[in-house]
Each structure stands twice: as C-alpha cells, then as structure tokens.
Chain A
C-alpha cells in the first residue's frame, strides 16, 4: 500500500493525541495551576485535530467530510469519526468543568479515557477490517495501535511533568508501557507478516485448475491509480533497515533516554519516539500488500 503522508501523520498524531487524552481522562496529568488544564487540553486536542485534519487532506472532497459521521453502523472510518468527535467534545466539557469548578469530573474523565481507547481502536479497525490487506487483517493490529497510543501518551506525559514540575514520576510505568508496546508490535511483526495468503493469482483468476497463472500483459502500459495506491513496492533491504531504525527510535532509544539519568533528555523522548512511530507507520503501509496486486502479476 502506498504510504501516504497524510494518513501516516493522521494515524500517528491522532494516536498520540488520544493517548494523551486517555491519561488526561484518567487524571494522570500533573497540574500546577488550573491553566495547565487548558494547556494540556490544547496539547491533546491539537495533536488529535492536526491528525484528523491531515486525514482530511487525503480526501478528494474534504468539505463533505461531515458526511463521514453518518455510517457508524457499518463503517469503521465513520465510527472513528464519531468517536473522535465525541472524545473531543467530552474533553472540552471535562476541562471546562475542571477549570471553572477547580475540580476534575472524574467520572467524565473515565468516560473520556474509554472513548479515547475506543477511538484508537476504531482507527486501527479501519485497517484491521480490510480482508484485502492480509497483513493488517490480524487480530493484533488494533492492539498495536492501542499500545502505541497509550505508550506515546505516557512518554509525552513524562516530558510534560519534566516541564511543569521539573521531574517525572512516570519513568517506571513508562518503561512498562514501552516494553509492552514493543512486545505487541514485535509479535505483530512476526505473526501478521508471516501469514500465508490464501489468495493467489490462481484463485484471483479462477484458472488455478489449469496451471500456474502469470500476468503476461497489464490492461494498461503505464501505472494506473490502483497500482499507484495499492501496488506500492518497497525493497526488502529498505524494509529491514527501516524497521531497525523504527525499533530503535520508537522503543530502544526512548528507554535508554528514560534511564539515562539526564533529566532534560526526557523532554526529547517524545520527539524521538514520534519519529520512530512515523517510520513504523510508513512501514505499516509500505509493507502491506493488497490482494488486487495479484491481478497485476504479483505473488504474495
């Protein structure tokens, strides 16, 4: 699949944002002054919104995007939209109440935390529900999204605490988060990546009973939209190198920095981690093969 930047940014940034809102809802965020509530809200909602906006860039008709909220009964993309909007609205109420009354409405907070997770889940399910992309169509896919989102939130909270109170209280739990996320992602890499596709050029054409089927002539000599969108191929060696970098940036380096003892470095971790996430997402798309490519001469 073509790794479109708008979609990479969308899933990474909104994932991070909802991770923040998750912790925010649970009340994990250290607040010095009440204005910090507003600040954090802005931070979380910004991440989410920029992400969502970026996804709009991907649309042919962004002005009609509101229609995408209508089909929550069947469409994960629609559900994602509904959940995202609900989370943002609730967050506004939550922080408004908190700011005005000086007290965190914890029940609503819990609700926001759940909504955030749900939103991330729905985002992931947009991909994980596509049978056509075997690599995504794996029960672990939404867990990866969840783990990375929650973990990204934690990492960012560390930095936030560092800034607001000059120290972080979340190093251990962040470590656990990172290890779990790394674990989930690693298992996904191994499992999702090694699935054997039932679909082959033979099943695609129904000609398998006659023999091995290979493409001789494409319907068009230059690349078309389908191939551009779904026929993206990335060289093996690039995949290997990039996944190493992704693991280093997303997990290893953050862990190292976390335990480096140099406290200001903690403020850098979100950046490093996020850079890793971007590469991870790039690979998530670039490595995924769409079944339609079977009609264009690929064999999965």
Chain B
C-alpha cells in the first residue's frame, strides 16, 4: 500500500480574531470573528460569553453570508417612482439628512404628534425611546406590541419580570421543567443549552404545545393542547394543587400578596382594592392578635382564612381566600376543562401530581445566610426545583395576558419563583411595577418644539395613567394606553399603519420606521397594509400617510414603500450596545452587558442608524443631543455609548466605568469601548452569594442593585397574585372614577380586567362560526431562519426555501389530503392556496407553518421565481388586524384587550382541497423592483475560495 497523503492538520485559522456580539437574531450571543486577509474566515461562539458559552446557532453560523448579501443597501435612496414600485434614486447623505431634518423639524415645530416613530426589532430602545422623548412625540414604540407584550406585561405586573431577558429556569438545579408554547424563543441558544443540560441530568421536560417539533420533540412528555386554552389548563392544575393541599403556604405568606386584605364591598368605589393603613401599606390580619397590621410587619403569621371587618365597617377578605373561592371550584376540575383543552383529566391530575411531587419532595436547601426584606436573617435558601418557561404560544392570544398571569400564579403556588431549582430572575430584574415609569404624553404636556416629560412607554397603574384626552380619545396614534389597550406597555406597532391610514384617532404627517418589515411579515393583513401605504388621499392627492422614512440594512419588502431610505450597516460593521437600560444579557448569577463594534471594514455608503439618529437629533437641536452652543454632543453612537449619562454615573454600559475599574456607577470613560473589546466584547460581574435568590425580597440583593445603579434606594416588594391595578380599571368599567371606558368597551374591560386571572375564549374563535372555521392555524419559528431577513442568506435558504402547511392527520383524513396536495385555507378575512404535508404529532384540530418564509417577488435580491415566492407563503394574509364586525357596527382590534398584544394565534380557518390541475400559491403579488444600485446577486457562491493559497494546483 502506498503511503497516504500528507495533509495539513495544522492550518493557521486566521490572522486575527475579533470578539463582538451576533445579531443574526435578538439572542445576542458572543462571537469570535476570525479574519483572514481582511475577509471573514469563520465565526464561532465565544466560550467566555454568558449567553452562549461558545455555542452558535445555524443563523449565527451563516453570518458570513448575511454580511455579503447582495441585498445590502449601499447608499441613501430617494423614491422616484410611485410607492411600492421600488424605483429609487441614490442620493448623498447630505441630501438624505437635510431632507429628514426638514421633515422632522417642521413637524416638531408644528405638532410633534404628527410624527410616528416606530423602531421594530430595535436593540437600542434606550436610545430611540429617549430620542422620541426629546423630540416630543408620544408616538414611539418598538416591536413588543405585536410580539410578546402579554408575556412581558403579565410578568411585570405579577412578578416584576417575565421570562427570557427577565429570567430563566435554574438549569443547574431544576428537577422538572415545564414549557408552554415555545418553539424557539429569543433565548435561542440558552434554552437549547439548558435543555441539553437537563437531558444529561435526566431531568424531566414537559412541553405543552399543539405541535410536536423541536423542543417538544425531545420533551419527556408532550401535552398536545387546543390552542388558546392554556389558561384553562393552568387553572385546572391550580385546582388540583389546591384540592390535594399541595401548595407552598409559607412562600405565599412571605413573598406574595396572598395574605393581603381586599375590600369586599361590591358596588362601591373601593371594591376589590387593598385595605391600606394610613401610610398606604396594604394590611393583613394577624393570626395571633386578630389585628389589622401592615404586611411589612416582622414576625407575624397572617390569618388567611377568616374574613374581618375594617375600621370603616367594610368586610375584608384575604387574597388567599379569593383565590380559593375562584379556583377551588368545580368549573376548573380537570374533568370540566378537558373537552375544551383537549388534555384528558387523568393527565391533568398526573401533571399536577408531578409538579407537587418534585416541588415538595425534592426541596433544595442551600446553606447560605441572607437577610430578607423585613430584615429577618435567614439561615438557608430554600428552593423548589420546578421551573417553567413560556412564550408566544400563550402570549399571542387575545386571552394571553391573563394566561401568562395564571402561569405565574401557578409558579408562586409551588413556591418556585426566584428560588434554587425554580425560575430565577436576571438582574436588573425583578423590578416591581411601581418602579417602572408611567407612560408620558398626557394631553396637556405635549408642546411643539418641546421634549416629552418622560419616556413615551411605561406601566400605567390606574385609569389616571391612561393617555387619553378629556373625551376619552387616544392620544397616541396606535391607541396605546387608551381604553382599547390600557396596559399596552410596548405600544401597538401593528396598528400604526392602519390607524394612520384611517386617520383614527388622527392622521399623521410622517411615519419614521426602523428595522421592521411592516409591508410584509410583521403585519397582519399584509395585502391590506400594502394598500394603506399606497392609498391616495382624494383631498390632497398625496398619500394618506404623506411621508415615510425607513431605515433598513437590506432590500426588504418594506423598503419599496419608503420615500426616503436611510441605509443601515450590518451587525459586523457598527457600534451597538446591549445595555442594562434596555434589554440586558444578564444571567441569574451575574450582571452583564455587551457591545458590537466594527470588526470588518465598511465598504458601502451606509451609516449606523443610531449614529444617524443622533446626528438628526443634533440637527434638530434636541435637548441632550446638543451642547449649550448648539453643537452636537456626540459625534457618533460610539461616543454616545461612552459619554451619555442617564443619571449621574449611570450610562448605557455598566462595565469599565470611571477609571476603568468601576462597575454599575461611575464617571464616563473614554476608553470604555476599548476595555470591552479587550474583554471579549462584554462585561460581566457575579452577584454576591447571598444576593442570588429571592431578589425581590432579599436585602443583600437590594443593596447590590443600588450599588450597581439599577435603582437608587432598595425597593423590595412581594409578588402580586391579586392585581389591584387591574381591579382599578375594572372599577372604572363599573362606573367609578373620572376616567371610564367608553360604552362600547365597558363590558369588555370589565370582563377582562379581573384582578385574579380568568380565562375567556380567544376573541376570533368566539366570534366566527365554529362549524365554518373549525381549525386552528399557527405559525412556528424555524430555528434556522430569522423572520424575513434570513431568506437572503444562500445557506439558510437552502434549509428553508419554502414552507408547507402541516396538516394534522385527522384533518388530512377528513379532507383526503396527502403530502404535496394544494389546499385552500380560508379565514373570515381571506384565503390562501398552499401545499400541505400531513403530520401526526400535531393537535387534531390544528394546522401550522413556518413563519415568514414566504417572500414577495423581487424583494431581498432573490429571483422572482425563487421558491420563497412561488411556493412559500405567509399566514398573515388570513389574519386581520381587526376582528369581525360586531353587532354595534364596531370592530375591535385583533388584540389582547389589556395589552393590545397582536393575537396571531387566535386564527381560525377552514381547509379544502384545491384543484390539482391548478397548482401554485395564492395570493401572488406583482414583482417589486429592486433599488438599482444594489450588488448583482451571483448565481454561484464559492465563499472561501479566497483563502486557498495554492489554488492553481487543483485542476
């Protein structure tokens, strides 16, 4: 045998490694970018990074292709053809900025509400929100409203934080992990790492999901639930835990408002509010003395069972007794809910039994001394190793807010919030709702040329905090914080275009958008939105939405509808900060933040949007963006990141402040970004041992939080099982207070704002005929694709080039559907024709598809005959932003009535086999022209060929 070839097992991988943060999705993993001869040789996960600890997902690994995408915008563009035609002329930045400044300046001087500034999947909301505030418009929000605000808001109002960036399961110690409606989540890599760890440890994983893919496929138990009924299932679990006396009473007493007394005086304006003492402290009934006493008092055991009478003679009952009354009712017995949830009673009982077994028989005790918020020393930290996680499967329904709240209450009953083995908060969370600002922008506070009094987004705590005028009309263009959606803490991005188009509540002059593909996948009723964007106002002859500035990095569907396009950099070309002021990357045991920095040379005439925004701010003379002389305060975003201070000593980045050694608080440091780069692109500091758990009630943690600058004084609190905030809105619906819901919403507010979560059927399902539209239609995130922007990536689009409709085997049988058949899918609003694939591991009444794979012809520099456009499709065409007309002629938003969360997963459809002789997707839209100055897409890609030294030798 001849000797074998000698191969080079020792190639030098790269000339240099630069560490930054991925942005192929919002997970914010740390990456090592290997560079060779100036090109990206390889991107891998950063092993030291708290988020991903070295791993990298499919999207992140395809970063090279995104960075080289021919769909990258190259220079500012001015529209020259009609909107949507895609006809643009390249212009200079001087012209672009002049134009934008003029448009923005005129409006600011006239009426700042005529600007709607909506920033999509924005990772710099601390800046963009502040910019809107300084500009003076209340019309600001990012994508949270159509994404997952139910989850976020329910979390804050109940616990002071929700899942994802607010907290995570204790992967190391948990013994039972239960997941509701999660396909992928933002915490993309950490969840996978966590599940891997649990599997290694042999920990049981339960997934509640109508579809069995991804995480549900590896779960030990897959609970196939009827969409929209998780709230019922959870309440059945609560019923079971109560019935079998398996709840953590001690935990409830110490850390929740279960013992608080509620005024039981129906028909009065105090009904359902807490019985407070003179200091405003809620009170409990002392078991030994029988006296009312502040819940803050040390060493008391409250009486949970007995009603009492307050000084003013009203009857007082504990929250706990209200809970029992609500949930220990036959209505929630597993056998009563099984027909709706599709989860058999026996399984509900077993699930409850399991939760209890693990929580109460596998109690953890860590011998760490800590001091609770009342100052009582505790010898150890107790934990109940049951952890939960949930996402849009429960959130994206019109009953999502209350479902999410119910889930948190289930966690609390098990005593498993922020404890070892349970669900744990990530600093700077938890933060009670009281510590969050209220929304700014009340009627009389908005002045031309003046900043807003506070941040546009916030957390209302009573009807007084709503942004409505004296007639009760919404002040914001998206009707956020109005009676339509009182707790819409993230705004309602999905309503902006349709409201602006309808002039309801008013029309606007300029829509300024960043990073949201609203003409396509992030809108409900995409075709309708396209029409609204191009609709002409007969009175003015101009567009109904007169001006539209848009910033994108790529030639997305939305670009075609802009009048002025501000081209952004890609994530490897710009500075960014992932700030504690915004959406941090902390871990339960560590505070952390991170940056992006230009790791590759920028070779196009594009600019980082945040720098452009600061530039515009300076041109407009916005306070904080110009100095006393009117000169710009920051020459770019990097400068701002290092030097901006929110309050003295606290800025966008918490690490390496002052001389470079200070954390949290400290003077600005001109070498801060260098220090981050030196440190691998992030900063992290561990929590002291005693501060790791029970953070909301832990004096050690509170101390730490103050030192770090999360807040200025300790702010401990207990979790709110019973929400007085909600009850206040309910009282308004009952006719109390100066701000009351308009008649057409009164009943809805009353029904939905229950202080203890109640389940109601999702709106769309309740309004359309069950026999006509018997099927639930869902989307799921594909792990290897990110919304619309992954399809320009030649690697990722080989994995998901088009999307089938997965049809349950039951539906397939009923309609004689086999793999590859074309089917018509109809909702009350529209119809689409798509290709079906039969699936067995699927809820019998459900169909689903991958989200955002379908593309508009001509977008993203794809050939018009690319499968994304010829076979791929969006479910969005079936979903309307408004519900069907009601008896009163009014149409409600297809949203959660509390938060305004878009109810994507309420969709009900019917299905029918299409004529096999007429295949092809429906609808198909006209091809949009790509801006003329884009790179030509090559037909073949041979990336890496440039690294071959001895290329000539091969042939």
B799–A219 contact, CB under 8 A? yes
Please state if A220 and B955 are interface contacts (CB–CB under 8 Å).
no
Most buried by B among A63, A219, A222, A224: A222
Give bound CA distance, A216 to B850, whole Å. 14
Tell me the interface secondary structure of chain A in the complex.
loop
Shortest C-beta distance, B868 to chain A (Å), equals 9
Complex-state Cα separation, A219 to B58, whole angstroms: 13
Q: Are A222 and B867 in contact (CB under 8 A)?
A: yes
Whether A220 lies near B801 (C-beta < 8 A) is: yes
Counting CB contacts under 8 A, is B253 at the interface? Answer: no
Chain B residue, CB-CB nearest to A63: B955
A70 to chain B, nearest CB (A): 9
Contact between A222 and B837, CB atoms less than 8 A apart: no
User: Which residues of chain A (62-115) have a CB below 8 Å from chain B?
Assistant: 63
Residues of A close to B114: CB separation below 8 A: none
Which parts of A34-76 form the interface with B (CB within 8 Å)?
Answer: 61, 63
Interface presence of B619 (CB below 8 A): no
A221 contacts B by Cβ under 8 Å: yes
From residue 813 to 859 of chain B, which have CB atoms closer than 8 A to chain A? 837, 839
Q: Which residues of A contact B800 (CB under 8 A)?
A: 221
Asked if B143 is at the interface (CB within 8 A of a chain A CB), the reply is no
Chain B hits for A222, CB < 8 A: 798, 801, 867
Taking CB atoms, residues of chain B closer than 8 Å to A219 are 799
Which residues of A have CB within 8 Å of B802? 221
| Given A221-B800, A222-B801, CB of A216 within 8 Å of CB of B955 | no
| B573 → A minimal CB distance (Å) | 30
Asked, given contacts A61-B955, A63-B955, whether A220 binds B839 with beta carbons under 8 Å apart, the answer is no
**Cross-chain pair count, CB within 8 angstroms:** 18
B955 engages A221 (CB within 8 Å) = no
Interface positions of A from 212 to 259, Cβ below 8 Å from B: 216, 219-222, 224
Which residue of chain B has its CB nearest to the CB of A221? B801
Q: With A63-B955, A221-B799, A222-B798 in contact, is A216–B837 under 8 Å at CB? A: yes
A63 to B955, CA, bound (A): 8
- Number of contacting residues on B, CB 8 A? 9
Q: Mark B420-436, 1 if CB is under 8 A from A, else 0.
A: 00000000000000000
Q: Which residues of chain B from 861 to 900 have a CB within 8 Å of any chain A CB? A: 867
| A61-B955, A63-B955 as given contacts; A220 in contact with B837, CB under 8 Å | no
Interface residues in A176-220 by Cβ distance below 8 A to B read 216, 219-220
* Contact among A61, A63, A216, A220 for B799, CB-based, below 8 A: A220
- Nearest-Cβ distance from residue B184 to partner chain A, whole angstroms: 15
Which single residue of chain B is at the shortest CB-CB distance from A70?
Answer: B2
Q: Which listed residue, A61, A63, A220, touches B798 by the CB 8 Å rule? A: A220
> How far is A220 from B802 in the complex, measured between Cα atoms in Å?
9
Minimum Cβ distance to chain B for residue A64 (Å): 8
State the CA gap A216–B800 with chains docked (Å): 14
**Bound form: Cα–Cα A63–B799 in Å:** 34
How close is B803's CB to chain A, nearest CB, in angstroms?
8
Cβ of A63: which chain B residues have Cβ within 8 Å of it?
955
State A188–B176 Cα separation when bound (angstroms). Answer: 59
A216 CA to B802 CA in the complex, in Å? 15
In the complex, the chain A residue whose C-beta lies closest to that of B954 is A61
Residues of B within 8 A of A224 (CB): 798
Give the chain A neighbours of B799 by CB distance below 8 A: 219-221
Give A197 Cβ to nearest chain B Cβ, in Å. Answer: 22
Q: Give the one of A63, A216, A221, A222 with max B CB within 10 A.
A: A221
Q: Report Cα–Cα, A54/B106, bound state, in Å.
A: 74
Count of chain A residues near B, Cβ 8 A = 8
Q: Which residue of chain A is the closest to B802 with respect to CB atoms?
A: A221
Decide if B867 touches A221 in the complex (CB within 8 Å): yes
- How near does chain A come to B744, taking the closest CB pair, in angstroms? 46
Separation of A152 and B800 alpha carbons in the complex (Å):
49
Return B793 CB to nearest CB of chain A, in Å. Answer: 14
Instruction: Verify A216–B839 contact, CB threshold 8 A.
Output: yes
A residues in contact with B839, CB < 8 Å: 216
Q: In the assembled complex, how far is the CB of residue A148 from the closest CB belonging to chain B, in whole angstroms? A: 36
Question: Smallest CB-CB separation from A73: which chain B residue?
Answer: B1
CA distance A222 to B802 in the complex (A): 8
CB nearest neighbor in B for A214:
B840
| Distance in angstroms between the alpha carbons of A196 and B801 in the assembled complex | 35
How far apart sit A61 and B798, CA to CA, in the bound complex (Å)? Answer: 26
Residues of B within 8 A of A216 (CB): 837, 839
What's the nearest-Cβ distance from chain B to residue A184, in Å?
38
Whole-angstrom distance from the CB of A123 to the nearest CB of chain B? 26
What CA separation (Å) do A166 and B771 show in the bound complex?
A: 84
B residues 930-955 in Cβ contact with A at 8 Å: 955
CA distance in complex: A221, B801 (Å) = 5
- Identity of the chain A residue whose Cβ is nearest the Cβ of B806 in the assembled complex: A216
Give Cα A219–Cα B795 distance, bound, in whole angstroms. 12
Question: Complex formed: what's the CA distance from A63 to B801 in Å?
Answer: 36
B839's nearest neighbour on chain A, judged by CB, is A216
Report chain B residues within 8 Å CB of A61: 955
Considering only residues 213-240 of chain B, those with a C-beta below 8 Å from chain A are none
Closest to A220 in B: B798
Residue of chain B at shortest CB distance from A297: B819
Residue on A nearest B1 in the bound complex, by CB: A73
In the complex, chain A residues whose CB is within 8 Å of the CB of B798 = 220-222, 224
In whole angstroms, what is the CA distance A63 to B954 when docked?
Answer: 11
Looking at the assembled complex, report how far the CB atom of B99 sits from the nearest CB atom of chain A, in whole angstroms: 42
What's the Cα separation between A167 and B839 when bound, in Å?
A: 68
Give A61 to B954 CA distance when docked, in angstroms: 10
User: How far, in angstroms, from A221 to B797 measured CA to CA in the complex?
Assistant: 8
Which of B381-426 touch A at CB < 8 Å?
none
- Which residue of chain B is the closest to A219 with respect to CB atoms? B799
Which chain A residues border B801 with CB–CB below 8 Å? 220-222
Please, which residue of chain B has its CB at the minimum distance from the CB of A216?
A: B839
CB-CB under 8 A from A221, the residues of chain B are 798-802, 867
Chain A min CB distance to B658 (Å): 52
Nearest chain B CB to A81 CB, angstrom units: 18
| Residues of A contacting B867 in the complex (Cβ-Cβ under 8 angstroms) | 221-222
What is the chain A residue whose CB lies nearest that of B782? A217
> Residues 443-472 of chain B: 1 if any A CB is under 8 Å from the residue's CB, otherwise 0?
000000000000000000000000000000
- Docked Cα-Cα span, A199 to B924, in Å, equals 43
For chain A, residues 115 to 171, give those with C-beta under 8 angstroms from any C-beta of chain B.
Answer: none
Q: Closest approach, in angstroms, between the C-beta of A231 and any C-beta of chain B?
A: 15
Interface centre among A63, A219, A220 (most CB of B within 10 A): A220
Q: Which residue of B lies closest to A61 (CB)?
A: B955
A224 and B799 CA atoms in complex are apart in Å by: 11
Task: Give the complex CA separation of A83 and B798 in angstroms.
Answer: 43
Q: How far is the CB of B791 from chain A (nearest CB, A)?
A: 11
Cα A259 to Cα B802 in complex, Å, equals: 59
- Complex CA–CA separation, A220 to B799 (angstroms): 4
Q: Report the Cα distance A226→B799, complex, angstroms.
A: 15
Closest residue of B by beta carbon distance from A218: B799
Which of chain A's residues have a CB closer than 8 A to the CB of B955?
Answer: 61, 63
Give the distance in Å from the alpha carbon of A220 to the alpha carbon of B867 in the complex. Answer: 12
**A43 CB to nearest B CB, Å:** 35
Least CB distance from B2 to A in Å reads: 9
Q: Which residue of B lies closest to A64 (CB)?
A: B955
CB contacts under 8 Å to A, within B130-148, are: none
Contact bitstring B539-559, A, C-beta under 8 A = 1, else 0: 000000000000000000000
User: Could you tell me the distance in whole angstroms from the C-beta of B746 to the nearest C-beta in chain A?
Assistant: 48
Nearest CB of B to A40, in Å: 38
- 8 Å CB contacts to A: which residues of B746-802? 798-802
Complex alpha-carbon distance, A216 and B819, angstroms: 10
| Extra A-B contacts (10), CB below 8 Å, given A221-B799, A222-B801 | A63-B955, A216-B837, A216-B839, A220-B798, A220-B799, A221-B798, A221-B800, A221-B867, A222-B867, A224-B798
Q: What 4 A-B pairs are tightest by C-beta distance, nearest first?
A: A221-B801, A220-B798, A222-B801, A221-B802
Q: What are 16 A-B contacts defined by CB distance under 8 Å?
A: A61-B955, A63-B955, A216-B837, A216-B839, A219-B799, A220-B798, A220-B799, A221-B798, A221-B800, A221-B801, A221-B802, A221-B867, A222-B798, A222-B801, A222-B867, A224-B798
Q: Which residues of A contact B (CB under 8 A)?
A: 61, 63, 216, 219-222, 224
